Amino acid sequence: MTDLQDLLRAAAIAARKHRLQKRKDAEASPAINHPIEVAAILAIDSDVTDPVTLVAAVLHDTLEDTTTTPEELATAFSPTIRDLVQELTDNKRLPKPERKARQVAGAPHLSARAQLIRIAEKIANVQVVTPPSAGLLGPRPPAGVPRLDGTSGRRLPGGQSLARYGLRARPPGRPRSAGLAATPFVGWLMQKLSERLMPPGVNRS
């Protein structure tokens, strides 16, 4: 089976698993939109072509939000895909603030592939809830909140810092007012992150 067939099969499985679910956005859009958007950010905006990363991106909410089991993913795809999706799965039995706190605390310890998917997921979420005028990373922190990087002080969703990846909050020459619609900005950010995070030998372009 080819990589493309694997990716389409993952999309079909995710669509079936999420078929009755809606997102919590204003339009109550289908839940399947989110994993497809995450995979698209990776594949289109950052030229990630690693099939394991893209398949896991499409499936990343199946264990957390549906009745899918780890064994199903291992059988349908591979133990590697199963482990990667498990790495991105929150424990829904915990209160939401605790889940989010664990995400932040665990972010530095995620595998390279999981970090890419997590960041693409956060970007996709911001695109849903943040108006374009606020910018890709949202508004600046309020007065008195410590800045998390040494340049603009902007935060990645979940409290992560661009400085952690050796990046500035905007590409050189990009106006500070650039908003969510500035796809080149998203592409620049994801390409830089993929260059830093993807393990040697994994195809990015």
Cα separation values, 97 from 91, 94, 103, 104, 118, Å: 12, 8, 10, 11, 17
Amino acid 197: pLDDT? 59
pLDDT grade for 1, boundaries at 50, 70 and 90: confident
Task: Please give the average per-residue pLDDT across 108-127, as a whole number.
Answer: 89
For residue 161, what are the β-bridge partners? 155
How far apart (Å, rounded) are the C-alpha atoms in residues 48 and 119?
13
- In the DSSP assignment, the letter for residue 164 is G
Contacts of 137 by beta carbon, 8 Å cutoff, 6+ apart:
126, 154, 155, 156, 157, 162, 169
The CATH number of the domain covering residues in 3-197? 1.10.3210.10
Q: Which of 155, 189, 157 is nearest to 172 (CA)?
A: 189
Taking only the tens place, the pLDDT of each residue in 60-89 is 999 999 999 999 999 999 999 999 999 999
- Phi and psi at residue 142, to the nearest 5°: -60, 160
Q: Return the residue matching tokens 């958007």.
A: 37
Task: Please give the average per-residue pLDDT across 38-42, as a whole number.
Answer: 92
How far apart (Å, rounded) are the C-alpha atoms in residues 104 and 144?
21
Q: Which of 118, 158, 121 is nearest to 138 (CA)?
A: 158
End-to-end CA distance of the chain: 21
Task: List the catalytic residues.
Answer: 64-65
Contacts of 65 by beta carbon, 8 Å cutoff, 6+ apart:
18, 21, 31, 92
- Residue 151 pLDDT more than 80? no
For the chain, the domains span 3-197
- Residue 17 pLDDT more than 80? yes
Cβ proximity of 15 and 2 under 8 Å: no
Which structure tokens are listed for 185? 């900005």
Q: 197 or 64: whose pLDDT is higher?
A: 64
How far apart (Å, rounded) are the C-alpha atoms in residues 29 and 123?
17
